[in-house]
Structure 1
Amino acid sequence: MLPRHLERFVWAPRDGVDPLLWPFAIPAVRQLISEGGFEVAPGVTILVGENGSGKSTLIEAFAAVYPRRGAESSSRIPVTGPAGMQEDSPLRWHLRAKTHRLAAPGGFFLRAEAMHGYLSQIDADPAEGRAWGDQQLHERSHGESFLEVLRHRFADRGVYFLDEPESALSFQSSLALLVILDSLRQEGSQVVMATHSPVLAALPGATLIEVGPWGMRQARWEELDLVQSWQGFLASPQRWLRHLMEITPSSP
């Protein structure tokens, strides 16, 4: 039985919850509210769905609530990931994390949109240089820098949150991330990730949650709308493009 440092996010509303307003009106969030929270499976949990379905809203709130501290204490750079953003939803204030009494303190929140600033922090700190091979992270490709952070900061047992990490990764780099995620699982960590990538969603043993107008539902990889759309497109891209061009009004 795989360990669960993080067992559940519990709905614990404060004042100011209007079910008609964002983010509480998002179907996935409405379902979380009606069910009193969100159960977190052992190993890797992957949220997939269209833009606007609420994946990132859930991930950022979950990452803000879990009390990860990181095993390192000497670094001046946050070892748990970039800080929250002003645009983050207020959902975090209405959740609390139910954790195991022996939950590991390790963890990281990798959010693609904030990683440029995080890498800049590391490059600007001379004390960090030795830990990163005395090479500026910004001198590497975006994908290489992402993978370097993943290898370096994902070394401790704990709970890891990733929001669309594939945005910086090639196909081969996505496969490298799969290996990292599987290693985390085998070493006793948990991962909660949002992705548009059918490659990352194919991780063996992952719990797949499809997010959409219906709320949240567990699915198998081959059942995901994401996978079926990619398979259909790759099988006959010209048919898809021809149909798309026919129904899309041409520019004046």
Structure 2
Amino acid sequence: MSLYEAQSYLRSMILLRDEVPTFRQYPFDLPAVSRLDRLDFHPKVTYIVGENGMGKSTLLEAVAVALGFNPEGGTLNFTFSTAATHSELYKYLRPSRGAARPKDGFFFRAESYYNLATEIDILDRENSFAPPIIDSYGGKSLHEMSHGESFFAAFMNRFSGHGLYILDEPEAALSPFRQMAMLSRIHELIGKRSQFIISTHSPILMAYPDSRIYQLTPDGIAETTLEETEHFIIMKEFVNNRERMLRELL
């Protein structure tokens, strides 16, 4: 049995190109989609990175929805809909799953996390006789925390291991220190047989050593290394040559 068969919950995602009605309209006209055949996932961590507008969130959303997650995030049990803005891409993706099945799963989406927090409060009010959902997030309403604290509460409390976790820009409200703490939490959960697929702009979060990085560009999707990503190069250049960079920028 291969490493992917033994450890991966999600081995790959295949685009059913022959069934796509047209590659001239969004989201199929995105280079990351129009030139996609198959995306293979690392059994531990797969990163999807690239500039704004390259389709990172669109692709990650489609992967999550194709697996049965709510487009606005949460576990497989969440079915709420604040606004149906997800694309049709998920209909043309076919997942290839590993031999094992995850016991836990979560689609974390920074841009709609407020909606998820609201839904949790509503469900807990409407189901007063059931154990509160918020208990699995630390016991305190996510709306009563700062944005960063509420993000971190999910990572630390809700993610239990043996899970498939799909994270879209989880660093959005996290300080650099919290991003490093999250990297440590990812490692802890991988030790509990978890698999992560992460869209991010953060070189800190991209640094997990046993991983695969895909960079989305105008030419499509290319596998790369941390040191070759634009995010790492630009950050390193700025930190090492701050005064020169500021003179050029200002």
Distance in 2 of aligned mates of 1:83 and 1:112: 16
Instruction: Indicate which of 238, 243, 247 corresponds to 1:233.
Output: 238
Distance in 1 of aligned mates of 2:79 and 2:195: 19
Is it true that 1:107 corresponds to 2:105 in the alignment? yes
CA 1:129–1:10: 2 relative to 1, 3 Å: closer
Is it true that 1:31 corresponds to 2:29 in the alignment? no
Which secondary structure state, in structure 2, belongs to the residue aligned with residue 172 of structure 1?
helix
CA 1:193–1:82: 2 relative to 1, 3 Å: farther
Instruction: Indicate which of 11, 20, 31 corresponds to 2:15.
Output: 11
Matched AA of 2:175: S
Superposition deviation, residue 146 in structure 1: 0.7
Which secondary structure state, in structure 1, belongs to the residue aligned with residue 54 of structure 2?
coil
Which secondary structure state, in structure 1, belongs to the residue aligned with residue 178 of structure 2?
helix
Map residues 91-170 of structure 1 onto 2, 5 A cutoff. 91-124=89-122, 125-126=124-125, 127-170=132-175
Distance in 1 of aligned mates of 2:111 and 2:69: 20
**Match for residue 51 of structure 2?**
50
Map residues 164-203 of structure 1 onto 2, 5 A cutoff. 164-203=169-208
Matched AA of 1:117: N
- Range that drifts further, 102-111 or 7-16: 7-16
Determine if contact 1:108/1:161 at 8 Å carries over to the other structure.
yes
Distance in 2 of aligned mates of 1:78 and 1:39: 23
Determine if contact 1:6/1:97 at 8 Å carries over to the other structure.
yes
Superposition deviation, residue 43 in structure 1: 0.5
User: RMSD value over aligned CA atoms?
Assistant: 2.4
Distance in 2 of aligned mates of 1:15 and 1:27: 17
Distance in 2 of aligned mates of 1:131 and 1:189: 18
Determine if contact 1:28/1:216 at 8 Å carries over to the other structure.
yes
CA 1:106–1:7: 2 relative to 1, 3 Å: same
The alignment covers a number of residue pairs equal to 235
TM-score (structure 1 length as normaliser) = 0.84
Superposition deviation, residue 134 in structure 1: 4.1
Distance in 1 of aligned mates of 2:28 and 2:41: 20
Offset from partner CA, 1:89-130 (integer Å, 9 cap, x none)? 211111111112432242110000110111122234253354
Instruction: Indicate which of 63, 75, 78 corresponds to 1:79.
Output: 75
Instruction: Indicate which of 200, 207, 211 corresponds to 2:216.
Output: 211
Distance in 2 of aligned mates of 1:226 and 1:83: 34
- Range that drifts further, 144-153 or 110-119: 144-153
- Range that drifts further, 134-143 or 6-15: 6-15
Determine if contact 1:67/1:105 at 8 Å carries over to the other structure.
no
> 5+ unaligned residues in a row in structure 1: which ranges?
70-76, 246-252
**Match for residue 64 of structure 2?**
63
Determine if contact 2:74/2:108 at 8 Å carries over to the other structure.
no
**Match for residue 88 of structure 1?**
86
Superposition deviation, residue 45 in structure 1: 0.2
Offset from partner CA, 1:153-201 (integer Å, 9 cap, x none)? 2114121111101111011111111112112222212111100001101
TM-score (structure 2 length as normaliser) = 0.85
Matched AA of 1:145: S
Distance in 1 of aligned mates of 2:212 and 2:90: 23
Distance in 2 of aligned mates of 1:51 and 1:204: 24
